[in-house]
Amino acid sequence: MGTKAAPKRSKSTYDASSIQVLEGLEAVKRRPGMYIGSTGPRGLHHLVWEIVDNSIDEALAGYCSEILVTVHEDNSVSVRDDGRGMPVGKMEKYGKSAAEVIMTTLHAGGKFDGQGYKVSGGLHGVGASVVNALSEWLEMEIRREGHVWTQRYERGFPKGDLAKARKLKRGEGTGTQISFMPDPEVFTETLELSFDTLSRRFRESAFLNKGLKIRLIDEREEGREVAYQYEGGIRDFVAHINEAKDPVHKTVFYFQREDEGVGDVEVAMQWNNGFQDSVFTFANNINTHEGGAHLSGFRAALSRTINAYARHKGLLKEKEENLTGDDIREGLAAVISVKLRDPQFEGQTKTKLGNTEIKGLVESSTNRFLAEFLEERPAEAKAIINKALQAARARQAARKVRDTIRKGYLESSTLPGKLADCSSKDPARSELYIVEGDSAGGSAKQGRERNFQAILPLRGKILNVEKANINKVLSNVEIQAMISAIGAGVGETFDVAQARYNKVIIMTDADVDGSNIRTLILTFLFRNMPELIEAGYVYIAQPPLYKITHGRKDYYVYNDRELQETLTRLNANGNANIGRFKGLGEMNPNQLWETTMDPQNRTLLQVTVESAAVADELFTQLMGDKVEPRKAFIEENAREVKNLDA
C-alpha cells in the first residue's frame, strides 16, 4: 500500500506555509478542546458559531444583510451569506487563493484591516480553519467577480485548488456559502445539533445586529424554520425581555455612540414592575456574562444620573441617603452592547471585558443621554424614580426588621410563641411540622410524638414572595416564625448545618387553599433557603382523602385509585360508608397521628428540585394565577417517600 500521496500542489509552494498548515491542522485535531472548548454538544455548536460569525463580520462591515443556516438530514450544516464573497485572488506569499489561506491557516482572516469590527466567536475568533480541520468534509462556494468558485476539503485538506465552477447568472448576488459535516471521529458524543440552541443564539445575534436577517431551516424536521430580523436591534431585545412583564414607563431608552479611537457603544433599557434586574452585556456580540469595563461604566452612570435627577427634582430629600445601585436596578431590563477593535476578554470563562478605555466612553455617553431622556420625558422619569424610591424604602424598612429579628429571637434564639417544640435537640431525629391553621395545629400538637415532632401552626396567608422583594418578605410574621423555628438563618446567611430539624414537613389541607399555602411555603423556602430543599430536608405530608368504614373497621385511603382498590378488595358492594376528609381539622388527634404523622404508617413526599433553573422558571410560572401548573409542579417535583424512617 503506497504512502498517501501528499496533497498535490506546485513544487514551489510546498514550503513553510504548507508546513504551517499541516502543523496547524494537526494541533487542532490533537487538542480540539483548546480551540472549541470541548468535543461535546457545546463544542459541536461552536463550529456553527464560528462560521456564522464570519458572516456576521461581513454584516458588521456593512456588506451582508441576510444569513441562511440549514441543518441537513445527515446533520451537516450549510451557512450562506449575501456578502462580498471571500476573496479568491492568489496570495503570492502562499501561492494559494486568499479563501484557501483563510480556510487552512489558524487565525487567518483576523481583523478586517482598518475599518470595522470583527465579531470573535465564542472562543474569540478561532476562525473557519478550525471548523475545517474538525469537519469530515467541508465545501465552500463563493460568488464573486462574476463567477461561482468552489473548493472541497476533507478533515482540513483541500481536495483540489479553488476552481472557477461557472459564471454567475444574471441577478445572482455575491456571497459566501460554507457547508460542512462535523467529524464523527471528533464529535463522538453526539452529532445532533439542537434547533433550540441554534435559534436562541441566532435570535440574540439578530437583536445585536439591527436589521440583519438570520434564517434557520431544519431539514431534519419538516417545516421547522425560523427567521429573526430586528430593525430596532437591542431596543427590540429589551422589549422582548419585558414582553411578559408590565413596563413602568412607555419608552425604551436607547442611544448609540461611536468614538473612533475606542469603539462603539449601544445601550437600551426599560424598567418593569418586577423585582429582578435583567442587565445583559455584550462585547463584539460575545455575551460578557462576567461583566467588565462596559458594565462598570454603565452602573456608575446610572447611579449618578438617577440620583442627580431625583435630587434635582426634589424627589429625594437633602437628608435622605442616595438611592443604591440595587434600588435603581430593581426591575431594570437593559442591554449594553459594545464593539471594539481589540477586545480583551478576562475572567474565569473569558467573558469579562478588560479594555478599561471603554468604561469611560460608556459612562460619559450614558450620563449624557440618560439625563437628556429624563429631562425630555418627565412623566416617565418620575415613574422610574418612584420605582427606585419604593425599593429604597422597602430596603430601609427591611434593614430595620432585620435588625429587629437579629436583636429579637434569631439572636437570643428565643423561638416563636406558636412553636410547640420537640424535646429532642438532635436535628437528625427531629421533625418540624408546618401546619396550616390553628385547628389542625391544635390536633397536630395533641396527636404528635412530642419527643421528636415539633409543630408550627401558621395562621392565614403566607406572603407571596414571588411578588414582593426580600425586604417585605422578612417583615411578614409567618415568614419570621418559619425562619426562627428552622433556626438556620435566611438568604445569604442561611446555613443548612444549623437547621434544628432534618425534616421540615409541610402539612396543609388537600384542597385548593391548602395547595396554595403549600406552594407559597415552597416558594419561600426555594427562594430563601434553597439548600434546605437541596439537602432533601423538605417534605409534604400526605393526609388521607377518604375514610372507609366497613363493618367495625376503618380504612384510610390517600387517593381515588386507592379508594377503588380498597372497595374492590373489601368487595364492599355498597355496604361500606365512605367519608371524604375536607381538611386536617376534621381529624381528631389520634386519626391525624395514625394516618399522617406516625412514621410507621405515614407517606411523605420528599421535595426534590431537580434543577434550580427549571424550578426558578416553574416558581415564576407557579406564582401566576393558574393553579394547574402548581399541582403539576408538586407531582413532578415531590417523590413518594414511604416510611423513610425505616
Residue numbers of the site for ligand 28F (CB under 6 A)?
Answer: 51, 54-55, 58, 79, 81, 83-84, 86-87, 109, 112, 176-178
CB of 112 to ligand 28F, least distance (A): 6
Alpha helices, H only, 96-150: 98-104, 128-133
143 vs 339, beta carbon nearer ligand 28F? 143
**Is residue 509 annotated as a catalytic residue, yes or no?**
yes
93 vs 569, beta carbon nearer ligand 28F? 93
* 328 neighbors 49 (Cβ within 8 angstroms): no
206 vs 517, beta carbon nearer ligand 28F? 206
- List the grid coordinates of 445: 400538637
CB of 620 to ligand 28F, least distance (A): 38
179 vs 281, beta carbon nearer ligand 28F? 179
153 vs 546, beta carbon nearer ligand 28F? 153
Sign of CA dihedral 161, 166, 167, 169: negative
168 vs 572, beta carbon nearer ligand 28F? 168
84 vs 289, beta carbon nearer ligand 28F? 84
Distance separating alpha carbons of residues 456 and 521, to the nearest angstrom? 13
* 546 neighbors 579 (Cβ within 8 angstroms): yes
CB of 84 to ligand 28F, least distance (A): 4
CB of 81 to ligand 28F, least distance (A): 5
**Is residue 264 annotated as a catalytic residue, yes or no?**
no
54 vs 305, beta carbon nearer ligand 28F? 54
Residue nearest to ligand 28F (CB): 54
Q: Which of 303, 316, 537, 329 is nearest to 431 (CA)?
A: 537
107 vs 569, beta carbon nearer ligand 28F? 107
Which amino acid is it at 480? Q
CB of 610 to ligand 28F, least distance (A): 39
Q: Which of 248, 565, 237, 213 is nearest to 383 (CA)?
A: 248
Contacts 24+ apart (CB under 8 A), 95-98: 95/9, 95/10, 95/12, 95/13, 95/17, 96/9, 96/13, 96/17, 96/161, 96/162, 97/149, 97/151, 97/161, 97/162
- List the grid coordinates of 300: 456608575
Distance separating alpha carbons of residues 198 and 125, to the nearest angstrom? 18
CB of 262 to ligand 28F, least distance (A): 23
Which amino acid is it at 111? K
Distance separating alpha carbons of residues 47 and 182, to the nearest angstrom? 8
109 vs 247, beta carbon nearer ligand 28F? 109
CB of 464 to ligand 28F, least distance (A): 50
* Helix, strand, or coil (residue 444): helix
Residue 373, beta-bridge partner list = none
Distance separating alpha carbons of residues 226 and 482, to the nearest angstrom? 48
Out of 511, 560, 636, 645, the active site residue is: 511
CB of 80 to ligand 28F, least distance (A): 6
Out of 204, 363, 380, 436, the active site residue is: 436
Distance separating alpha carbons of residues 296 and 453, to the nearest angstrom? 51
Q: How far apart are the first and last CA of the chain?
A: 69
112 vs 137, beta carbon nearer ligand 28F? 112
What Cα–Cα distance (Å) separates residue 113 from each residue in 300, 341, 494? 34, 10, 54
89 vs 378, beta carbon nearer ligand 28F? 89
Residue 520 burial (CB count, 10 A): 23
Distance separating alpha carbons of residues 211 and 557, to the nearest angstrom? 62
CB of 61 to ligand 28F, least distance (A): 7
- List the grid coordinates of 185: 471521529
Out of 277, 438, 513, 598, the active site residue is: 513
**Is residue 139 annotated as a catalytic residue, yes or no?**
no
CB of 105 to ligand 28F, least distance (A): 11
What beta strand segments (E) does 437-558 contain?
Answer: 453-458, 503-507, 538-541, 546-550, 553-557
* 172 neighbors 143 (Cβ within 8 angstroms): yes
Residue with C-alpha cell 418586577? 274
Residue 61, beta-bridge partner list = none
Q: Which residues contact 3 (CB under 8 A, 6 or more apart)?
A: none
Alpha helices, H only, 330-409: 357-376, 378-405
Distance separating alpha carbons of residues 267 and 155, to the nearest angstrom? 42
CB of 148 to ligand 28F, least distance (A): 14
Q: Where on the phi/psi map is residue 404: left (φ > 0), alpha (ψ -120 to 50), or beta?
A: alpha
Following DSSP, what letter does each residue of 299-313 receive, concatenated? HHHHHHHHHHHHHHT
Out of 81, 264, 330, 509, the active site residue is: 509
**Is residue 259 annotated as a catalytic residue, yes or no?**
no
Following DSSP, what letter does each residue of 238-252 receive, concatenated? HHHHTTTS-BSSSSP
CB of 34 to ligand 28F, least distance (A): 22
**CA angle centred on 556, ends 555 and 559, rounded to 5°:** 130
Distance separating alpha carbons of residues 154 and 361, to the nearest angstrom? 46
Catalogue the active-site residues. 436, 509, 511, 513
